């Protein structure tokens, strides 16, 4: 038992109400076994690999790169930094994490070491109950993300192994050419987690993230159960 540690679930419930990338079908479940008839309960579930809180493997945008099952287990348990731009994003739905915001985080909490994961808290999870507020108006994706320069600093300059966010995607919604996905993170073997929740309960530094993603052969991504383990001595999160 991890006495004194706090476990924070960063996973949204996956259901037919899950907000999907526009045009995507939410998960569907059909009951195949019933207690009264079969003595057990079971369902057959159909879903997109990128549904709900999910993992992007490098192969998602990088041909020949690692699939979900090929990502080493020791890259799924990492020290975690959480950078909070929720105040910035509340003013601007097209907000991008800047190099200055990364450097400000490091001035307060120490330089991000190689082998860490960095999650971006935008506050967007509070909009998940309203599709248009979460994704943007019809035909126009609008949500915050990692800026190209800050992503390069984190991946090339700091050597992070994972990026996460509480929106539909790592790139901001307006970046329909997916420059971070395509040019920075996935080609270098850096995985993503998208549609996270609960980041406000995780301190800026000191926690560890555990990514419970099924070891599905050939997968470009898959829904994941994401947990943050917060040590007892860690100070309270995000004073802003």
- How far apart, in whole angstroms, are the C-alpha atoms of residue 213 and residue 197? 16
The 8-class DSSP code of residue 18 comes to: -
DSSP bridge pairs for 165: 120
- 145 membership: H or E segment, kind and range: strand 145-146
Which residues touch 217 (CB under 8 Å, ≥6 apart)?
67, 69
Whole-number pLDDT of residue 1: 62
Q: What is the pLDDT of residue 240?
A: 46
- CA dihedral 113→116→117→123, nearest 10 degrees, is -40
pLDDT of the residue at 72: 98
Residues 206, 193: Cα–Cα separation, whole Å: 19
Per-residue pLDDT tens listing for the chain (240 residues): 677 889 999 999 999 999 999 999 999 999 999 999 999 999 999 999 999 999 999 999 999 999 999 999 999 999 999 999 999 999 999 999 999 999 999 999 999 999 999 999 999 999 998 999 999 998 899 999 999 999 999 999 999 999 999 999 999 999 999 999 999 999 999 999 999 999 999 999 999 999 999 999 999 999 999 999 999 876 555 554
Rounded Cα–Cα distance for residues 138 and 65 (Å):
33
CA 223 to chain centre: 10
Q: In the prediction, which pLDDT does 70 show?
A: 98
pLDDT reported for residue 235: 58
Q: Give me the phi and psi of 40, to 5 degrees please.
A: -155, 170
Q: What is the pLDDT of residue 6?
A: 94
Kind and range of the H or E element at 35? helix 35-38
């Amino acid at each position: 038992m991890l006495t004194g540690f706090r476990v924070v679930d960063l996973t949204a419930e996956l259901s037919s109400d899950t907000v999907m990338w526009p045009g995507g079908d939410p998960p569907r479940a059909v009951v195949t076994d019933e207690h009264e008839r079969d003595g057990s309960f079971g369902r057959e579930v159909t879903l997109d690999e990128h549904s709900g809180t999910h993992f992007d493997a490098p192969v998602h945008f990088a041909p020949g790169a690692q699939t979900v099952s090929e990502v080493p287990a020791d890259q799924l348990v990492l020290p975690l930094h959480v950078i909070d731009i929720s105040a910035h994003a509340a003013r601007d739905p097209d907000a991008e994490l800047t190099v200055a915001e990364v450097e400000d985080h490091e001035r307060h909490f120490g330089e991000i070491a190689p082998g860490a994961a960095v999650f971006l808290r935008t506050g967007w999870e509070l909009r998940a109950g309203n599709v248009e507020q979460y994704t943007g108006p019809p035909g126009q994706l609008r949500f915050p993300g990692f800026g190209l320069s800050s992503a390069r600093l984190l991946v090339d300059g700091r050597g992070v192994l994972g990026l996460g966010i509480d929106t539909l995607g790592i790139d901001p919604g307006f970046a329909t050419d997916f420059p971070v996905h395509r040019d920075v993170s996935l080609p270098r073997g850096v995985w993503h987690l998208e549609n996270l929740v609960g980041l406000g309960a995780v301190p800026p530094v000191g926690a560890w993230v555990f990514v419970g993603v099924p070891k599905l052969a050939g997968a470009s991504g898959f829904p994941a159960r994401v947990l943050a383990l917060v040590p007892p001595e860690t100070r309270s999160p995000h004073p802003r």
